[in-house]
């Protein structure tokens, strides 16, 4: 394996880092977190760099599909603020990647140029109050009425629904007993009549807060069915296909970014903080902790980019992406909590970025498929008998 970063990705990483330092200073990131604010103006400027088009083919106005570069952008943005990183995912990945994989040609021609231009954000409306990992059990109903679809149901943990243009709504469009063969995916405008969005107050992940979404007799054109006529009752293949592999990597990239930020901050802090007349960087317990943090972070990034390169080659990599998501998110949690230990009481109070890292990283082993789900994936897909 060759883990050397390609020249174009190295150049793009430098561009994103300069953008972050100039347009996403630490004090702004702290304010976005405190106010639970989505900085739309920063997102729009990011779009002008063309990075939303990294999942969009050139025929539709994008830069061409580059999963490795997309994960790099997520990682770099996550080092500073999830208030920008998560909306980026909602545009480049939720919108761009899923449209490429699942949309009809008409839908692609209409929507993908807007994604590439940074003008379109999608949210996932998959899980429900009583439905998490078992998506085939959703109770939301999608019915046809002439040239319209009528949608009724409730969705839970729809991150960013209050800042998006469309919500992907997964619902039951066939007989209840036809499990896996009765699901469809519909693009519902977030401002459509009958859509009610209620924020859920969470510990972290500020800027693109999670929400409850109620859909009461919501009507959209049949043309909003993902894939149009071919998409009727084929929603399961859409939510369990290649896009799911990359979704796991998106969370792993967030984890890698936060872990690196926490390690870098701790690395600088131990050289400044003095106890008993010398920097705490001189104490072996601190040095060993930082060595472990660097090692875990390095391993997480290797797993992330190895799986991303497989996805980029259109190689089915469910096992590898589950491993990467599992390891990176749990490693990031360990790294960030170790950094908090190094900061001591300062790691627990507002005003230090480490406190935000802790709140954000605790969600990552849960979202995008929990660690328990990933462990099941790994052993099941590697053929361990039950």
Q: What is the mean pLDDT of residues 278-307?
A: 97
User: Per-residue pLDDT for 316 more than 70?
Assistant: yes
pLDDT recorded at residue 284: 96
* Pair type for strands 122-125 and 166-172: parallel
CA dihedral 34, 38, 44, 47 (to 10 degrees): 90
User: Per-residue pLDDT for 183 more than 80?
Assistant: yes
CA dihedral 366, 372, 376, 382 (to 10 degrees): 80
pLDDT recorded at residue 180: 86
Q: What is the mean pLDDT of residues 25-48?
A: 96
Q: Please tell me the distance from the alpha carbon of residue 83 to that of residue 206, in angstroms, as a whole number.
A: 6
Contact, 243 vs 97, CB < 8 A? Answer: yes
Q: Please tell me the distance from the alpha carbon of residue 83 to that of residue 81, in angstroms, as a whole number.
A: 5
pLDDT recorded at residue 245: 77
- Considering only CA atoms, which of 211, 240, 251 is closest in space to residue 370? 251
Model pLDDT for residues 63-75, shown as the tens digit of each residue: 999 999 999 999 9
The pLDDT confidence band at residue 351, using thresholds 50, 70 and 90, is confident
Model pLDDT for residues 213-233, shown as the tens digit of each residue: 999 999 999 999 999 989 899
CA 179 to chain centre: 27
Return mean pLDDT, the chain.
93
Could you tell me which residues are beta bridge partners of residue 131? Answer: 128
pLDDT recorded at residue 82: 97
pLDDT recorded at residue 19: 97
Q: Please tell me the distance from the alpha carbon of residue 56 to that of residue 66, in angstroms, as a whole number.
A: 9
Q: Please tell me the distance from the alpha carbon of residue 279 to that of residue 369, in angstroms, as a whole number.
A: 41
Tell if the pTM clears 0.75, that is, is over it. yes
Helix, strand and coil percent figures for the chain, each rounded to 5: 55, 15, 30
pLDDT recorded at residue 179: 84
pLDDT recorded at residue 153: 94
Which percentage of the chain shows pLDDT scores above 70?
99
252-290 b/e with 16+ CB inside 10 Å = b? bbbbbbbbbbbbebbeebbeebeeeeeebbeeeebeebb
Q: Please tell me the distance from the alpha carbon of residue 341 to that of residue 321, in angstroms, as a whole number.
A: 30
The pLDDT confidence band at residue 383, using thresholds 50, 70 and 90, is very high
Higher pLDDT, 351 or 112: 112
pLDDT recorded at residue 2: 62
Structure tokens at 278: 């010398």
User: Per-residue pLDDT for 5 more than 80?
Assistant: no
Contact, 81 vs 29, CB < 8 A? Answer: yes
- Within 8 A by CB and 6+ apart from 77, the residues are 16, 20, 24, 46, 84, 85, 88, 257
DSSP state letters, 61-96: TSS---HHHHHHHHHHHHTT-HHHHHHHIIIIIIII
User: Per-residue pLDDT for 381 more than 70?
Assistant: yes
Q: What is the mean pLDDT of residues 234-238?
A: 88
Q: What is the mean pLDDT of residues 11-21?
A: 96
Which percentage of the chain shows pLDDT scores above 90?
83
Q: What is the mean pLDDT of residues 368-376?
A: 93
User: Per-residue pLDDT for 241 more than 80?
Assistant: no
The pLDDT confidence band at residue 357, using thresholds 50, 70 and 90, is very high
pLDDT recorded at residue 242: 65
Q: Which has the minimum average pLDDT: 82-86, 172-176, 239-243, 249-253?
A: 239-243
φ and ψ at residue 196, rounded to 5 degrees: -115, 120
Number of Cβ atoms within 10 Å of the Cβ of 165: 18
Helix (H, G, I), strand (E, B) or coil at 171: strand
Contact, 236 vs 180, CB < 8 A? Answer: yes
CA angle 188, 194, 195 (to 5 degrees): 50
Determine if residue 61 is left, alpha or beta; phi over 0 gives left, psi from -120 to 50 gives alpha, anything else beta.
Answer: left
């Amino acid at each position: 394996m060759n883990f050397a970063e390609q020249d174009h990705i190295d150049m793009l990483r430098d561009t994103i880092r300069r953008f972050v330092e100039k347009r996403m200073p630490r004090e702004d990131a702290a304010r976005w977190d405190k106010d639970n604010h989505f900085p739309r103006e920063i997102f729009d400027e990011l779009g002008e760099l063309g990075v939303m088009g990294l999942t969009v083919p050139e025929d539709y106005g994008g830069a061409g599909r580059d999963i490795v570069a997309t994960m790099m952008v997520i990682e770099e943005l996550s080092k500073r603020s999830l208030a920008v990183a998560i909306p980026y995912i909602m545009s480049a990945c939720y919108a761009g990647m899923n449209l490429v994989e699942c949309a009809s040609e008409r839908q692609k021609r209409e929507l993908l140029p807007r994604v590439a231009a940074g003008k379109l954000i999608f949210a996932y409306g998959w899980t429900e109050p009583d439905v998490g990992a078992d998506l085939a059990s959703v109770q939301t109903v999608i019915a046809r009425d002439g040239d319209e679809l009528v949608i009724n149901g409730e969705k839970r943990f729809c991150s960013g629904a209050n800042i998006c243009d469309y919500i992907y709504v997964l619902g039951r469009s066939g007989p209840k007993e036809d499990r896996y063969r009765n699901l469809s995916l519909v693009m519902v405008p977030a401002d459509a009549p009958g859509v009610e969005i209620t924020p859920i107050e969470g510990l972290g992940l500020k800027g693109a807060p999670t929400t409850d979404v109620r859909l009461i007799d919501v009507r959209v054109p049949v043309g909003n069915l993902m894939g149009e006529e071919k998409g009727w009752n084929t929603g399961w293949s859409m939510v369990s296909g290649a896009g799911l592999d990359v979704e796991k990597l998106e969370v792993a990239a967030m984890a890698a970014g936060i872990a690196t930020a926490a390690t870098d901050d701790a690395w600088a802090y131990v050289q400044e903080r003095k106890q008993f007349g010398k920097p705490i960087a001189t104490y072996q317990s601190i040095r060993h902790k930082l060595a472990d943090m660097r090692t875990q972070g390095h391993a997480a990034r290797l797993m992330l980019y190895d799986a991303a390169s497989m996805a980029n080659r259109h190689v089915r990599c469910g096992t590898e992406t589950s491993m990467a998501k599992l390891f990176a998110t749990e490693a990031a949690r360990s790294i960030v909590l170790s950094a908090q230990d190094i900061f001591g009481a300062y790691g627990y109070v507002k005003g230090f970025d480490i406190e935000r890292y802790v709140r954000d990283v605790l969600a990552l082993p849960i979202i995008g498929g929990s660690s328990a789900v990933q462990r099941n994936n790994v052993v099941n897909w590697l053929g361990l008998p039950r």
